[in-house]
A and B are shown apart, each in its own frame.
Chain A
């Protein structure tokens, strides 16, 4: 029989990634040399252990709060299980693990902690923002906002700006663990009270940042992320505002957003909407 790399590689890959036995691989190992076969099976254990250790390290780096909430032992078991169910799809481990929130969501043993999937979703966004393409700040471009030019203007957001709406006080929970603000007690109190939060993730320089945001800020940023001209996004916001919520002051917000690196520039965009 001609040697067949496809079958050999499939057998080793299954044995390394799978949780099952190494029976399929044994067919490709030296049969007569029992010492060498035993050594290869010991080697297989080493590859498996390396994969599990890598999985634990990679996920703990991306999801430190989830790891803390679950406890080291439970989190390690989760990482190993996730590794066997959802192995990496590419050779960059930084890309692996984005499906963890759904995995946690589907885990019946974690159903008593229903906020955990959103904690994972938020930590995943914070992981992604760290490596998002850099955006240069262009302060002179903000002159477009007062130029009177009829061409619509959009705001250029900072690197990797992302939003998450949760039924849980997820921004408070994560910041309580990472920054100590609010305190763990305060975050626990918000959780008990059934408080929902919108979380905003962005980067100031190279530093990932996250805070809760209001419904109005969420709506405005959703429009801006979608590339809407600023006036359209503000118009949509004014139509939806009302009730007891304080009015959204765009001018104050913009000043703070530019200072924080959330908004980096203004740019002209082609008209997208037919005006009636």
Chain B
């Protein structure tokens, strides 16, 4: 690459969108005003070809956030060395503004082989799983020589062995490894809605705000916003619709709590299924920016 947009000197509060295949051409052509683009790292592991080329073109105009869905950092089976090699090569090539993945597992033994479930499977919140996650996060950070951000999940299976709160688990993860936290606001709302189905809360919004209040602000570097689907007997984080009003409300609370962190706070609009026209995503990004104004003023004070 000849020239890259510098990833330093970004404003304290930045906003970007998930850049997916249907918008590759239009975004490169129109270059809308966005602080960064987010892509799924695994979609660009190829050694060459069109996808990698368009990412390099985008990188000439935007900082890129590499968001992984496949490191499977919570796996007792460990991090796949091949996967880490591909990610390290991509990081070197793209010089991303952030690198992130999830507090989930996917790798494990199956019929005598180590397989990958290609999903963000939940981990239990206890000491053993925390030790596993910390060791894997450390390994990746040491290899990439940079801080990793770890995202909270929407989890549809809960283990009875969990004896730590999710927030306590994540806070200790950040404290022990120095990683940052990527708080997916929609994910905590989806979990709270499923808690309501389980009869554990009758006020999901307050549950989410309490969740946010237990996260150490200095650890948080990014927020995710997305839509979800209510199937009646379960709520699924499908990234297939607009951000709902309740999630915007919780986002406002998150901005108030995390919006003045010294290293800045990024907000991402995610949309991965039934992807609408680009203008809809840009509209959601504009709405996030409008909510950031009061937090930005506080950060400047």
Residue numbers of A with Cβ under 8 A of B are: 2-6, 8-10, 12-14, 16-17, 25, 28-31, 33, 35-36, 39-40, 42-44, 46-47, 50-51, 54, 87-94, 96, 130-134, 159, 203, 206
Neighbouring B residues of A96 by C-beta, 8 Å:
118
B42 touches A42 (CB 8 A): no
Neighbouring B residues of A43 by C-beta, 8 Å:
155-157, 234
Q: Which of B49, B107, B114, B126 has the most CB of A within 10 A?
A: B49
Alpha-carbon distance between A19 and B226 when the two chains are bound, in angstroms: 31
Alpha-carbon distance between A12 and B117 when the two chains are bound, in angstroms: 10
Q: Which positions 88-136 of chain B face chain A at CB distance < 8 Å?
A: 105-110, 113-119, 121-124, 126-129, 132
B118 touches A206 (CB 8 A): no
B76 touches A31 (CB 8 A): no
Neighbouring B residues of A130 by C-beta, 8 Å:
46, 49-50
Contact with A along B38-82 (1 / 0, CB 8 A): 000011011111111100000000000000111110111100101
B116 touches A3 (CB 8 A): no
B119 touches A29 (CB 8 A): no
A5-B132, A43-B234, A46-B236 known; A92+B70 contact, CB < 8 A: yes
B69 touches A91 (CB 8 A): yes
Q: Kindly identify which residue among B116, B117, B234 contacts A39, using a CB–CB cutoff of 8 Å.
A: B234
Can you name 7 A-B residue pairings with CB atoms under 8 Å? A39-B156, A46-B236, A87-B116, A93-B118, A94-B43, A134-B48, A206-B50
A36-B158, A87-B117 known; A10+B45 contact, CB < 8 A: no
Q: Which residue of A lies closest to B101 (CB)?
A: A91
Q: Is B197 an interface residue (CB 8 A)?
A: yes
B117 touches A13 (CB 8 A): yes
Neighbouring B residues of A44 by C-beta, 8 Å:
156-157
Neighbouring B residues of A6 by C-beta, 8 Å:
76
Q: Kindly identify which residue among B106, B113, B124 contacts A5, using a CB–CB cutoff of 8 Å.
A: B124
B160 touches A31 (CB 8 A): yes
Q: Which residue of B lies closest to A55 (CB)?
A: B118
Alpha-carbon distance between A46 and B124 when the two chains are bound, in angstroms: 18
A133 touches B47 (CB 8 A): yes
Kindly provide the distance from the CB of B280 to the nearest chain A CB, expressed in whole angstroms.
22
B123 touches A5 (CB 8 A): yes
A3-B128, A88-B116 known; A12+B157 contact, CB < 8 A: yes
Kindly provide the distance from the CB of A182 to the nearest chain B CB, expressed in whole angstroms.
27
A92-B70, A93-B118 known; A131+B161 contact, CB < 8 A: no
Q: Kindly identify which residue among B118, B156, B234 contacts A54, using a CB–CB cutoff of 8 Å.
A: B118
B108 touches A9 (CB 8 A): yes
Q: Kindly identify which residue among B49, B108, B194, B234 contacts A10, using a CB–CB cutoff of 8 Å.
A: B108
Neighbouring A residues of B132 by C-beta, 8 Å:
5
Kindly provide the distance from the CB of A206 to the nearest chain B CB, expressed in whole angstroms.
4
B158 touches A30 (CB 8 A): yes
Neighbouring A residues of B129 by C-beta, 8 Å:
3, 5, 8
Neighbouring B residues of A3 by C-beta, 8 Å:
124, 126-129, 159, 161-163
B116 touches A131 (CB 8 A): no
A131 touches B51 (CB 8 A): yes
A94 touches B45 (CB 8 A): yes
Kindly provide the distance from the CB of A212 to the nearest chain B CB, expressed in whole angstroms.
24
